[in-house]
Chains A and B, each alone.
Chain A
Amino acid sequence: MTRTEITPSPTVTPRSEEQIAARVKALEAMLIEKGIMTTDAVDRLAEIYENEVGPQLGAKVVAKAWTDPAFRERLLADASAACAELEIGGLQGEDMVVVENTDTVHNTIVCTLCSCYPWPVLGLPPNWYKAPAYRSRIVRQPRAVLREDFGLDVPDSVEIRVWDSSSELRYWVLPQRPADTEGLSEEELAGLVTRDAMIGVGQPLHPGR
């Protein structure tokens, strides 16, 4: 077989992210139906890398919000627009909302139906985020799940709000800036921001840890 025999597929016209994602999904379904591969085989290969698409972009946004009060205001007012200032963006039509943790409110995100997730800022969701156990329990018993599954003890004096992301609106959390970080640069601060803190199942790291 020579290369010239290969039929070019009609990909010279621009395709949106949604169209490409749908095409990959269609292709996967067809190849599995034809017995060319199994779902398990594809999952195993995908898992090698999917935990490594990281949340560095979200961490950068959080660090800027911690150091720039005007940016923080814009982020809370319109997260998609504020992220676009930093050239961070996602699929068209998918709005992001940032919810801010305070001394009296702790926020956590979930997608109760599937795995909607603010991937332009947080990368791909961890497997537990997609699991039915987390999706149902975090809604019914948020305080217990945070303590038992994630080791995060939210004081009784703090209200917990759980936000349900959908394909139209995706939430993520602006955690509180850790104490004793006054002298740190934005870059150093970003290093303290974990994925779990932006999902709301953890806190940022403390300097020196």
Chain B
Amino acid sequence: MTAQDGTARQAVEHLLLELPHQEAIRPDGTDVSFQTAWEIRAFALAVAAHQNGEYDWTQFQEALVGAITRWEQAQGTTPYRYYDRWLEALESLLAARGLLDVADVEERTRVVLTTPRDTGHHRAHREPVAVDAARA
């Protein structure tokens, strides 16, 4: 890790330490951990918007507490996932600040889901794409 990465990391760790449910952020008790790529992107979006001055970190903290509370009150209609609540918190906060319309997110998501990433690419390739034969 370079010194620059270390500094960026410290700044982010500082933000993360202020959030509720540290056990979800650090499942093994020490290091921050993510399970999927989208969790990391959702994390990065919330920090980037904060760093751009769109909201104070305490406001994100409150939005996250609010999203988790709503999930708890809904009594298990969906499995608890920290970064799912995180995403909800981010959307609700941006909407409350007039920066985003949640209906637009719904529509854009539908577009993403219906646009093939690459039509040929959804095919399974069952043979090697290249073979370099033995020479000896």
Q: What's the Cα separation between A169 and B123 when bound, in Å?
A: 8
On whether the beta carbons of B36 and A3 are closer than 8 Å, the reply is: no
Q: How many residues of B contact A (CB 8 A)?
A: 76
On whether the beta carbons of B48 and A50 are closer than 8 Å, the reply is: no
On whether the beta carbons of A10 and B108 are closer than 8 Å, the reply is: no
On whether the beta carbons of A14 and B79 are closer than 8 Å, the reply is: yes
Partner of A26, one of B66, B99, B108, B117: B108
- Which secondary structure dominates chain A's binding surface? mixed
Partner of A168, one of B77, B108, B122: B122
Q: What's the Cα separation between A114 and B31 when bound, in Å?
A: 29
On whether the beta carbons of A20 and B84 are closer than 8 Å, the reply is: yes
Shortest distance between the CB of A94 and any CB in chain B (Å) = 10
On whether the beta carbons of B40 and A7 are closer than 8 Å, the reply is: no
Asked, given contacts A13-B77, A119-B36, A158-B134, whether A6 binds B111 with beta carbons under 8 Å apart, the answer is no
Q: What's the Cα separation between A179 and B110 when bound, in Å?
A: 52
- CB of A100 within 8 A of chain B? no
Question: Which residues of B from 83 to 136 have beta carbons under 8 Å from A?
Answer: 84-85, 87-88, 90-97, 99-100, 102, 104-106, 108-109, 111-113, 117-118, 121-126, 128-136
Show the binding face of A for B, using Cβ within 8 Å.
1, 3, 5-15, 17-31, 34, 36-37, 41-50, 52-53, 95, 104, 110, 112-114, 116, 119, 124, 138-140, 142-143, 155-169
A-B pairs with beta carbons under 8 Å apart, 21 shown: A3-B62, A8-B88, A15-B84, A19-B109, A22-B109, A23-B112, A24-B45, A24-B87, A26-B105, A27-B45, A28-B41, A30-B105, A31-B49, A45-B44, A48-B5, A52-B33, A113-B118, A140-B130, A162-B128, A162-B131, A162-B132
- Given A45-B8, A46-B43, output 12 extra A-B contacts at Cβ < 8 Å: A1-B97, A3-B65, A8-B70, A21-B38, A22-B113, A24-B87, A25-B41, A45-B12, A114-B118, A161-B130, A167-B121, A168-B122
